[in-house]
C-alpha cells in the first residue's frame, strides 16, 4: 500500500514519549506565544494545567497569561453538532483568542521599531 506524503509524515513523526518527538515539540514552541483553556467544569484538570505550565516554561514558550484561563463548558453549552452554543462561553473563548492576537501584534510592533 502506498502512502500519501501527508500519511508518511504522520507515521514518521514519532510516538508520544519518544525523546526525538519531545525535542521536536520543544523546538516548535520555543518563544512561541501559547495559552490554554481549562474547559473542565470541575477542578480535576487543574493539576494537568499546572504541569503543562511547567513544561511550557521549560521549553521557553511565550506563555500569554491572559490566554491561560478556566472557562467551564457545561454539557448544555454544547449543541448536538458538537459546537458551543452558549454565548457567554463563546465570548470568553473569543477573549482568549483576542489576547493571543494582541500579544503577537504588540510584540511585532516592538520588533519593527527595533
- Residues ≥6 apart with Cβ < 8 Å to 20: 14
Give 38's DSSP letter: E
Low-confidence ranges of the chain (pLDDT < 70): 1-22, 114
- pLDDT per residue as tens digits for the range 22-47: 677 778 889 999 999 988 877 777 78
Instruction: Note the residue count of the chain.
Output: 114
Q: List the chain domain ranges.
A: 30-113
Read off the pTM. 0.71
Amino acid at each position: 500500500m502506498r502512502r500519501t506524503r501527508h500519511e508518511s509524515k504522520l507515521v514518521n513523526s514519532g510516538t508520544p514519549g519518544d525523546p526525538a518527538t519531545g525535542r521536536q515539540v520543544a523546538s516548535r514552541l520555543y518563544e512561541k506565544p501559547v495559552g490554554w483553556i481549562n474547559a473542565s467544569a470541575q477542578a480535576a484538570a487543574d493539576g494537568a494545567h499546572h504541569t503543562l505550565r511547567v513544561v511550557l516554561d521549560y521549553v521557553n514558550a511565550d506563555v500569554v497569561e491572559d490566554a491561560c484561563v478556566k472557562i467551564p463548558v457545561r454539557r448544555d453549552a454544547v449543541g448536538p453538532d458538537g459546537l458551543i452554543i452558549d454565548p457567554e462561553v463563546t465570548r470568553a473563548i473569543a477573549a482568549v483568542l483576542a489576547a493571543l492576537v494582541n500579544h503577537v501584534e504588540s510584540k511585532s510592533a516592538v520588533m519593527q521599531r527595533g
